[in-house]
Amino acid sequence: MNSLRHDWTRSEISALFALPFNDLLFQAHQLHRQRFDPNYVQVSTLLSIKTGACPEDCAYCSQSARNQADLERERLLPLAEVVEKARTAKQNGASRFCMGAAWRSPTDKNLDKVIAMVEAVQALGLETCLTLGMLTRAQTQRLKQAGLDYYNHNLDTSPEYYGEIITTRTYQDRLDTLEYVREAGINVCCGGIVGMGEQLEDRASLLQQLANLPTHPESVPINMLVQIEGTPLHGAEEIDALDFVRTIAVARILMPASWVRLSAGRTAMSDEMQALCFFAGANSIFYGDKLLTTANPDEHKDRMLFDKLGLNMTEQELDRTANA
Ligand code: SAM
Ligand code: DTB
Ligand code: SF4
């Protein structure tokens, strides 16, 4: 099996994007089979535990106080409500529960409350994931002690395009938080968004940033922009479906041991497009009818898709020799 690389050059990545589609998908799928059961898709359910009124200016986001999206703001949810939602997610088949908050960074007081949520969700037998914005080193240590499994913090786009999307925090701020999460020994979930009007080179550059981190993120969410009225990116040029599939395939090739998550944007994708994404190496999704503030396909729809494709949400014993 190939060893993991952290020295991908831009021209190598651009060459992958330029491959004939069949050659790219074949290469990605072969690599996928070497390390993963190709018929298993891990499912996580999201919950927004604190919604809206965010001081950051992310141009895609419904939750930024600077955007004009029609959104009901909500303070930090009570513990009991979070536990109830997590219990339902588990009953519906989720293996991980991800809690997101519209903060630039959590205060230590808020972190205490979130830690109680992590402990309660874990006690239900679910893996836990948080996305709360920037963290300090000390905060990551506390989350590790609480037993947090994953922290999601996205690079969002290329360093070159970043200034068009966010001005209230730097790329380096994001890299710093990712470093603290990694140092603390929490699994890193880090990816980005495509379909924000970026060029193909920006997608190559984002994937280069991710693949050349000292350790690949264990989970790489590839979001397709959910266009939200009242945000600056409403009306942005949409990404071509096959270019989206190519982005998944290149992520799989650059980070062959990582879980590649087909994330936001699935309500706008056909079954056929999602099937190609799974073939290209996507092996996790968000499951349940809501992402943070926007719609996701409901459980029934996803179960039908999984049935049609013969995909499982439950991990089976993998005989690697049979898949090689
Ligand atoms: N406030 C925290 C932060 O930004 O780090 C955590 C929550 S934030 C909503 C988590 C991620 O969701 C963002 O980094 C972005 O990649 C993704 N996201 C937000 N709005 C999106 C949209 N409209 N379409 C696609 N992805 C989106
Ligand atoms: C990620 O990369 N995508 C998720 C999760 N991490 C937190 C969030 C998607 C949000 C989509 C827009 C919304 O529902 O507000
Ligand atoms: Fe705030 Fe996160 Fe939305 Fe940016 S992406 S506006 S930081 S909630």
Checking if the pLDDT of 322 tops 70, the result is: no
Q: Can you give the pLDDT at residue 323?
A: 46
Are the C-beta atoms of 28 and 253 separated by less than 8 Å?
Answer: yes
CA of 63 to the centre of ligand 3 (A): 6
What was the pLDDT predicted at 72? 80
Selected residue with higher pLDDT from 69 and 240: 240
Cβ neighbors of 52 (< 8 A, separation 6 or more) are 62, 63, 65, 71, 72, 73, 74, 102, 293
Nearest ligand to the CA of 225 is 1
pTM (predicted TM-score): 0.94
**Mutation to probe ligand 3, out of 49, 54, 104, 169 (largest number of atoms < 8 A from CB):** 54
Is pLDDT of 138 > 60? yes
pLDDT in the model for residue 220? 98
175 neighbors 214 (Cβ within 8 angstroms): no
In tens, the pLDDT along 4-45 reads 999 999 999 999 999 999 999 999 999 999 999 999 999 999
The number of CA neighbours under 13 Å toward the Cβ of 316 is 12
CA nearest to 231, candidates 68, 102, 63, 56: 68
Does 55 score more than 80 pLDDT? yes
- Say whether 58 is catalytic: yes
Q: How many CA atoms lie within 13 A of 251 on its CB side?
A: 34
Q: Which residues pair with 129 in a beta bridge?
A: 98, 150
- Sign of torsion, CA 64 66 70 75? positive
pLDDT at 239 over 70: yes
Instruction: Say whether 98 is catalytic.
Output: yes
Known catalytic membership, residue 261: yes
CB burial class (10 A; 0-12, 13-18, 19+) of residue 108?
exposed
Res. 69: pLDDT tops 50: yes
Which band of pLDDT confidence, cut at 50, 70 and 90, is reported for residue 3? confident
CA distances for 309 relative to 38, 41, 223, 275, 315, angstroms: 11, 11, 22, 7, 16
For residue 74, name the pLDDT band (cuts at 50, 70, 90): confident
Output the pLDDT for position 53: 85
The b-or-e profile of 266-304 (16+ CB within 10 A means b, else e) is: beebeeebbbbbbbbbbbbbbbbeebbbeebbebeebbe
How far, in Å, from the CA of 61 to the mean position of ligand 1? 7
Pocket test for ligand 2, best of 286, 289, 296 (most atoms within 8 A of CB): 286
Residue 71 has a pLDDT of 84
The answer to whether 135 and 180 are in contact (CB under 8 A) is yes
How many helices and strands in the chain, by DSSP H and E?
11, 9
Distance 102 CA to ligand 3 centre (A): 6
Residue from 96, 98, 246, 252 carrying the catalytic annotation? 98
Helix, strand, or coil (residue 209): helix
| pLDDT in the model for residue 317 | 56
Please tell me the predicted confidence (pLDDT) of residue 67: 81
* C-alpha 306 to ligand 3 mean position (Å): 31
**Is position 54 annotated as part of the catalytic site?**
yes
Q: What is the pLDDT of residue 324?
A: 41
Strand-pairing partners, residue 290, are: 295
The percent of residues in the chain predicted with pLDDT above 70, rounded, is 97
Q: Residue 24: is it exposed, middle or buried by C-beta count within 10 angstroms (0-12/13-18/19+)?
A: buried
Q: Which two tokens stand for residue 130?
A: 């948080």
- The DSSP code sequence of 46-100 is EEEEEBS-BSS--TT-TTBTTS------B-PPPHHHHHHHHHHHHHTT-SEEEEE
Question: In this model, does residue 318 exceed pLDDT 60?
Answer: no
Q: Report the atom number in ligand 3 closest to the C-alpha of 63.
A: 3
Q: Which two tokens stand for residue 267?
A: 């309500």
CB of 61 sitting under 6 A from ligand 3: yes
What is the predicted pLDDT for the residue at 68?
Answer: 80
The pLDDT score that the predictor gives to residue 307 is 95
When mean pLDDT is compared across 122-136, 170-184, 290-304, 306-320, the lowest value belongs to 306-320
